Amino acid sequence: MAAPAPSALPLKAVVFDAYGTLFDVHSVASLAEQLWPGRGDALSQAWRAKQLEYSWLRAMSGRYKPFWDITRDALRHSTARLGLPLDPARETRLMNQYSSLSAFPENLDALRALRAAGLPLGILTNGNRDMIDVSVRSAGMDGLFDHVLSSQQVETFKTLPAIYELAPAAFGCRARQILFVSSNAWDAIAARWFGYTSFWINRAGAPPEQLDTEPDHVGALLGDVVAVATRRA
């Protein structure tokens, strides 16, 4: 008898990206707007873009450095480029904001519904493990995740295969049997390239990326993951 087609494999786990997916980075923009009225959005966008750029350049060139430090480097460059004076007090406030992100309010119910359906859960993040642990605890998500997987374990960043390999190894199944959930379209697409079943949380109604591959599923909220995951469990 032939093996079932990969798309028909039952899901064995649901794995989440952290920043922007489980945890809301909007509070960073709010503080930036307080510090530099009228420039908060520009800074938070430039900061995020530079943070990702540095992670990609370091991944490609084999120059790993923890994400927390990259985040600070990106803040310093972005403020300099935008001509915003960054003194140590402002830097500390902005970085602290990043270390205590709150979860999207709907997320806890969605995660509990997935657990109730018997699905093991995990996090796969570029972020430092200790940063994620703090956010998980403060969001009341203790005990919900079987595995919290961080770039620190492999010293590289998404989208290199080495970091995507962590979840199939941890859950002991094929990538296709894991639903990988990210609010970053590029992450959801690269995860599918790697082999995952992927879900893009498109909270902002962004246009699709032009990368010749779509995420397997798209929704606007983490709650939308529950229907897909429990149907496939």
Considering only the C-alpha atoms of the chain, give the largest distance between any 2 of them, rounded to a whole number of Å: 67
Q: Which of 7, 37, 212, 231 binds a copy of itself (CB under 8 A)?
A: 212
Written as one letter, the residue type at 176 is: R
- Residues 153-172 contacting a copy of itself, CB under 8 A: 158-161
Cα→Cα distances 157→25, 27, 28, 118, 133, Å: 19, 24, 22, 30, 18
Q: Which is nearer to a copy of itself, 42 or 134 (CB)?
A: 42
Minimum distance, C-beta of residue 51 to a copy of itself, in the bound complex (Å): 11
Give CB contacts under 8 A, 24+ apart, made by 204-213: 209/185, 211/186, 213/189
- Residues 39-98 contacting a copy of itself, CB under 8 A: 49, 52-54, 56-63, 65, 73-74, 76-77, 80-81
The helix, strand and coil proportions of the chain, stated in percent and rounded to the nearest 5, come to: 50, 15, 35
Binding segment toward a copy of itself, per CB under 8 A, in 101-109, 173-181, 204-212, 222-230: 204-212
Binding site for a copy of itself (CB under 8 A): 49, 52-54, 56-63, 65, 73-74, 76-77, 80-81, 158-161, 186, 189-190, 193-194, 206-212
